[in-house]
Copies of this chain bind each other. A is one copy, B any other.
């Protein structure tokens, strides 16, 4: 069936929408793909829906190819399962919660780990049933604090989420890698440029969690990569290479100095450069930060963290390091309750002497000598040597990662880049199957607890990501795999012959199994060309002046190249260009 622009529910806009900042958002609105209904809540117009369905199709085909089975769970979910896993509260404000007419609590599903675990528990009871991989392509809800960039970060969005259930670690490993490879095929078919980054520091086993990040300057995720080795990781997952310990013998003794009015690193460095008679930089100082950890059981703990004075604390890295606890800044009340803490002049000694856990940056190795707080107002100690004058309780990844820092694999420097999360694969383990006692009868007659994996692809987000990576200054450009149409036929001449020629070409293309949009509107060729560039169908067939000689023009939206071919060759040339 040929789609006619004269009838398509479409109005392209000349101007960027006022609320749009990123190119994909501007273009998807201008080209009539999506419309905003509320913050982070969008409608899909005919063109947008066609692309969304194509992305879904690719995802579905690759999921089916690894033997995953499609099911569909509701978006409206009862509170109880999420209460059991504490996610009802842990999700915080990001969860849409509501009550039904009887006052029962419900939520709009942000992700379905609980329900899939319960589903498998309900259906399966023997090791013979396993392994199983289940998925759904479904509308999800998250009440994002800052929905942004149109469909790039929405509050209602389409996601493919899948879950694997296996009898043992080896099985989980296989399911995880099947997903990893399926995702690589999906993103390759969608022509998405991406990197796979380690998403956790590996404490759970190296490949326990990886993210697929689409490379994009408008991305919200920062990751680092080593050009030399190909290493890539979320900043949370970067392990700081620790230098080798140094000998302590012969190092000068630590000396306490009066350092009035030096509560900051900058003032301390200024004092040291004047008073010590040598060049001192911020990296020579040891900055001690105090945070309060709050554990899921409600208990709290003060924690001291020592980092080189030239580095800030990265809250994401600190947060990942103290999980499952959450951290908060300490208050005046905390200082008051612990009078041994000299605000602005805290040193390792008071912490260690008073039983406060003290963790340091991995660069603070034995034999390094520091200028740091002396635990009294206006006093610092110079030449305090790690491993001689103080022994920390361990190390912590909390300091910022910077461009030029050495890669953990030693291959070269790290560079920072930005990306958009498009996929996440996660060896969940037993968190949910333990909560719900998801057991089957094992081969030996004893129950076996199933081990779960969780895998997600942002389906609607991918529409924006492709737009973001592929657009040019004229508009959208869709890879053939997901284009709303295969061919865009433009009637670029008012005479009846050209119109009839375009109609018959469109019919031929349609008959050849291609999806065709025909611009049969009463508009000028200029308007039509601009719209065809904005809409971004990969191949455009123009029937204009050349038709008098029986020729049409085929334009490649990606390369910008165009060829004039006889009308009789259009279908074959279009097919050849699609195959190339």
Chain A contacts to B: CB under 8 angstroms:
1, 7-11, 32, 35, 37-38, 41-46, 49, 52, 64, 67, 69-78, 93-94, 96-98, 100-101, 104, 106, 108, 115, 119, 122-124, 132, 134, 139, 141, 143, 145, 155-156
Q: Which of B52, B74, B143 contacts A101 (CB 8 A)?
A: B143
Contact A74 B37 (CB under 8 A): yes
Contact A141 B76 (CB under 8 A): yes
Contact A97 B96 (CB under 8 A): no
Chain B residue with Cβ nearest A94: B101
Contact B43 A70 (CB under 8 A): no
A235–chain B nearest beta-carbon distance, Å? 26
Q: How far is the CA of A38 from the CA of B118 in the complex (A)?
A: 13
Contacts of A115 in B (CB 8 A): 37, 43
Chain B residue with Cβ nearest A125: B11
Chain B residue with Cβ nearest A132: B9
Q: How far is the CA of A72 from the CA of B134 in the complex (A)?
A: 25
Known A69-B46, A70-B46, A100-B143; contact A41-B76, beta-carbon cutoff 8 A: yes
Contact B44 A71 (CB under 8 A): yes
Q: Show 25 A/B contacts (Cβ-Cβ < 8 Å), sorted by A.
A: A1-B64, A7-B67, A9-B123, A9-B132, A11-B123, A32-B123, A35-B119, A37-B77, A38-B74, A38-B76, A41-B76, A41-B77, A43-B74, A43-B119, A44-B71, A44-B72, A45-B71, A46-B71, A49-B70, A75-B156, A76-B155, A93-B101, A96-B98, A98-B98, A98-B108
Contact A78 B38 (CB under 8 A): yes
Q: Which of B70, B74, B156 contacts A156 (CB 8 A)?
A: B74
Given A41-B77, A76-B108, 13 more A-B residue pairs with CB atoms under 8 Å apart are A32-B123, A37-B74, A37-B78, A38-B77, A41-B74, A41-B76, A43-B74, A75-B75, A93-B101, A96-B98, A98-B98, A98-B108, A100-B155
Contact B134 A9 (CB under 8 A): yes
Chain B residue with Cβ nearest A521: B128
Q: How far is the CA of A71 from the CA of B43 in the complex (A)?
A: 8
Q: How far is the CA of A45 from the CA of B134 in the complex (A)?
A: 10
Most chain B CB neighbours (cut-off 10 Å) among A52, A97, A104, A141: A141
A261–chain B nearest beta-carbon distance, Å? 43
A188–chain B nearest beta-carbon distance, Å? 21
Contacts of A145 in B (CB 8 A): 101
Q: How far is the CA of A78 from the CA of B46 in the complex (A)?
A: 22
Contact A156 B76 (CB under 8 A): yes
Contact B49 A72 (CB under 8 A): yes
Most chain B CB neighbours (cut-off 10 Å) among A67, A94, A96: A96
Q: How far is the CA of A96 from the CA of B10 in the complex (A)?
A: 31
Chain B residue with Cβ nearest A158: B72
Q: How far is the CA of A77 from the CA of B139 in the complex (A)?
A: 14
Contact A73 B37 (CB under 8 A): yes
Q: How far is the CA of A78 from the CA of B71 in the complex (A)?
A: 29
Contact B124 A42 (CB under 8 A): no
Contact B8 A69 (CB under 8 A): yes
Chain B residue with Cβ nearest A1: B64
Contacts of A38 in B (CB 8 A): 74, 76-78, 104, 106
Q: How far is the CA of A134 from the CA of B76 in the complex (A)?
A: 26
A354–chain B nearest beta-carbon distance, Å? 39
Chain B residue with Cβ nearest A37: B74
Contacts of A11 in B (CB 8 A): 123-124
Chain B residue with Cβ nearest A46: B69
Q: How far is the CA of A113 from the CA of B432 in the complex (A)?
A: 41
Q: How far is the CA of A98 from the CA of B143 in the complex (A)?
A: 12
Chain B residue with Cβ nearest A70: B49
Contacts of A64 in B (CB 8 A): 1
Q: How far is the CA of A70 from the CA of B74 in the complex (A)?
A: 22
Contacts of A101 in B (CB 8 A): 93-94, 143, 145
Q: How far is the CA of A458 from the CA of B41 in the complex (A)?
A: 24
Q: How far is the CA of A357 from the CA of B19 in the complex (A)?
A: 56
Most chain B CB neighbours (cut-off 10 Å) among A10, A43, A44: A43
Known A77-B38, A78-B37, A98-B96; contact A10-B46, beta-carbon cutoff 8 A: no
A449–chain B nearest beta-carbon distance, Å? 19
Q: How far is the CA of A214 from the CA of B102 in the complex (A)?
A: 30
Q: How far is the CA of A1 from the CA of B69 in the complex (A)?
A: 12
Q: How far is the CA of A414 from the CA of B392 in the complex (A)?
A: 91
Q: How far is the CA of A75 from the CA of B74 in the complex (A)?
A: 13
Contacts of A52 in B (CB 8 A): 72
A120–chain B nearest beta-carbon distance, Å? 8
Q: How far is the CA of A74 from the CA of B43 in the complex (A)?
A: 6
A39–chain B nearest beta-carbon distance, Å? 8
Q: How far is the CA of A49 from the CA of B45 in the complex (A)?
A: 25
Q: Which of B32, B42, B46, B93 contacts A74 (CB 8 A)?
A: B42
A180–chain B nearest beta-carbon distance, Å? 21
Chain B residue with Cβ nearest A79: B38
Contacts of A9 in B (CB 8 A): 69, 71, 123, 132, 134
Contacts of A1 in B (CB 8 A): 64
Q: How far is the CA of A145 from the CA of B76 in the complex (A)?
A: 16
Contact B96 A100 (CB under 8 A): yes
Q: Which of B8, B123, B139 contacts A139 (CB 8 A)?
A: B139
A53–chain B nearest beta-carbon distance, Å? 9
Contacts of A46 in B (CB 8 A): 69-71
Contacts of A155 in B (CB 8 A): 76, 100
